[in-house]
Structure formats: structure tokens, C-alpha cells
């Protein structure tokens, strides 16, 4: 019998292939392990940058949220203030309407005789007596009841066209006031818009002398600066320019009409400027002389009635006297 040949299960070539395959796998594993830390580190940095950007965006959003919340709070506060202001304005409007109705119903006529106003005369204040112990009153030291009660005086005169139509009368009344008033420590004269008669000496007291008083009378004849028939500007300017704690000042307003928008606004403005002290006394006293706009008894313009009503309230609040002149006193 013939012997069978032995069959080899694995040849040398097969083993070579297997070895090469395993070697390649090992090589791939080694290579992958070498570059893996670099990849992980890069990925980590990318994630950290993304997180940082997101945190910045979150911070900005939070800041914007805070700003919006603050704006909402301010808007709510402003709305509340506006609402309160609206309520106050409505209340003031009701008060003004009430005062207006009282003034119109009371019809502050300009046809009041000066003789009927003699009871309105005021005695010299105790402060004046203390400051001027040697002062003696003249036989007639007032014009239609307006007192002579201060050491410093300022005239605020309406120089509008309606006043120019009766300027001779205005000149005469001012002359009477200057003749009656004793010598004072300081004097000034301006129109209702705050324009001084002697511009070169504006905002400073004029030394009272007979020559100065005569110069005022002479200058009055041709003095006609622009005027809008609103004495509040001149009054406020006079107080702000000349008040001092060591001076006893009176303002004398000459006019015939009020062309401003609101009487109540004028009263409030003067109250804010001419404040009261602890005794209820104002910084300055305010007196007024009202000239009739028209000589017709039954035809008094509303602007003239408003002037009379405003001056009456203004003088009452500021320790002064209002005198309404009439045709009979002309």
C-alpha cells in the first residue's frame, strides 16, 4: 500500500499574511494613541471658548434685563408723578375757575372814588419807626390810600399804548407820589417789562435827591419803551434784582390792563419769589394804582377787569394796597 502525504494545515505564506495583518493593526492602534491627546486638548479648548462666549452673552443679557427693569421702574415712577401732577393741575384749575368766577361776579369795577379808599391807609410799620425814629409823616403821605412805608422804593410802570393815551394823568400821579414820599435811601423806576428809565444805572439804587426826582418827572414826558401789559415780569425782576435782608422795600405798580395768560400763574410766581418769613411778612411790599382803560362807565374791557382783580389779590398777599382810579379823579 502507498503511504499518504501529510497535509499541512498552515503554510508559511499564510502565517506571513496573518503576522502582517496583526502588525498593521498594532501600528494603527499605536498611531491613534499618539494623536488622541492632541485631538482631545483641541476639542477641550473649543468647548471652553464656546462656554466663555455663552457666558459673555448671558452676562450681556442679564445687564440688558437690569437696564430694562430699571427703565420700567422709572417709567412707572414718572407715570405716577404725571398722574399726581395731573390731579394737582386739575385741582388748581378748579381753584382758578372759582377765583375767576368770584372776580367776575364781584366785578372789580375801576369806578371807585379815591375818597372812598381813604380808610385803606396804613400806618407806618413798627419796623419803620424803629429804623427811622426821627421820621415825621407829612400832612398827606399817600396817594389814594397807598401808604408811605419804606426806605427803598421801586416804580413799575406799564408803558403800553393804552397807558400812553392817558400819559399826562400817569405823569401827574407819579409826580404826586414823588412829592408826597419823604426822602428815601434808594429809588428806582422801570417799566413792566423790566426796562429801566435810566439804563446806565440799572440794577443799582439811585440816590434820592430833589434833582433826581425832577429828572424822573422830565424823562417821563417822552418815556415809552415797549410793554406787553404784563406787570408780573417787572415785579419779579425788581424783587430778584434789589431785595436784600437789610432793606425795607416797596414796589409801586402803575397800570391799566393785564394781557397775560393766567392770573393764578402770576400769583404763584410772585409767591415763590417774594417768600414769607416766619412772621408771615414778605420780602417786599407790593402796592398798585389802577388806571381805567376806558372812560365809559358801562364799557370796561375784560383785560382791565383782570388787571384790577390780579392787583387786588397780589397786593393783599404781599402786604400792600390797591387803589383803582376813576374818571372823577382824573
Percent of the chain with pLDDT over 90: 38
Dihedral angle, C-alpha 266, 270, 273, 279, nearest 10 °: -150
Q: What is the DSSP string of 69-82?
A: HHHHHHHHHHHHHH
Range ranked top by mean pLDDT from 90-104, 119-133, 135-149, 244-258: 244-258
- Mean pLDDT, the chain, as a whole number? 79
Closest to 118 (Cα-Cα) out of 145, 141, 148: 145
249 dihedral zone (left: phi>0; alpha: psi -120 to 50; beta)? beta
Contact criterion met (CB below 8 Å) for 188 and 284: no
Helix axis angle for 263-273 and 302-317, nearest 10°, is: 30
Of 26-30, 58-62, 106-110, 208-212, the one with minimum mean pLDDT is 106-110
Rounded CA gap, 233 and 237, in Å? 6
Contact criterion met (CB below 8 Å) for 290 and 324: yes
Residues 26-42: what's their mean pLDDT?
66
Amino acid at each position: 500500500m502507498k503511504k499518504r502525504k501529510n497535509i499541512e494545515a498552515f503554510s508559511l505564506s499564510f502565517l506571513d499574511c496573518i503576522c502582517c495583518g496583526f502588525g498593521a493593526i498594532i501600528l494603527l492602534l499605536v498611531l491613534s494613541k499618539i494623536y488622541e491627546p492632541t485631538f482631545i486638548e483641541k476639542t477641550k479648548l473649543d468647548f471652553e471658548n464656546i462656554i466663555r462666549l455663552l457666558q459673555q452673552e448671558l452676562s450681556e443679557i442679564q445687564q440688558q434685563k437690569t437696564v430694562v427693569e430699571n427703565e420700567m421702574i422709572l417709567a412707572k415712577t414718572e407715570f405716577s408723578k404725571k398722574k399726581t401732577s395731573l390731579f394737582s393741575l386739575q385741582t388748581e384749575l378748579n381753584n382758578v375757575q372759582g377765583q375767576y368766577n368770584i372776580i367776575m361776579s364781584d366785578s372789580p369795577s375801576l369806578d371807585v372814588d379815591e375818597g372812598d379808599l381813604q380808610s385803606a391807609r396804613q400806618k407806618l410799620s413798627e419796623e419803620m419807626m424803629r429804623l427811622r425814629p426821627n421820621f415825621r409823616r407829612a400832612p398827606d403821605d399817600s396817594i389814594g390810600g397807598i401808604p408811605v412805608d419804606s426806605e427803598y422804593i421801586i416804580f413799575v410802570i406799564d408803558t403800553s399804548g393804552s397807558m400812553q393815551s392817558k400819559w399826562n394823568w400817569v405823569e401827574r400821579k407819579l409826580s404826586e407820589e414823588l412829592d408826597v414820599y419823604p426822602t428815601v435811601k434808594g429809588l428806582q423806576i422801570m417799566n413792566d417789562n423790566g426796562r429801566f428809565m435810566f439804563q446806565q444805572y440799572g440794577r443799582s439804587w439811585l440816590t434820592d435827591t430833589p434833582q433826581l426826582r425832577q429828572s424822573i418827572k422830565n424823562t417821563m414826558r417822552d418815556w415809552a419803551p415797549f410793554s406787553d401789559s404784563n406787570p408780573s415780569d417787572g415785579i419779579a425782576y425788581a424783587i430778584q434784582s434789589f431785595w436784600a435782608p437789610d432793606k425795607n422795600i416797596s414796589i409801586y405798580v402803575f397800570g391799566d390792563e393785564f394781557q397775560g395768560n393766567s392770573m393764578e400763574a402770576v400769583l404763584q410766581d410772585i409767591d415763590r419769589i417774594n417768600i414769607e418769613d416766619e412772621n408771615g411778612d414778605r420780602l417786599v411790599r407790593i402796592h398798585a394804582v389802577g388806571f381805567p382803560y376806558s372812560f365809559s362807565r358801562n364799557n370796561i374791557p375784560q383785560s382791565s377787569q383782570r388787571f384790577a382783580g390780579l392787583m387786588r389779590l397780589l397786593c393783599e398777599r404781599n402786604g400792600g394796597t390797591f387803589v383803582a382810579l376813576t374818571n372823577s379823579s382824573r
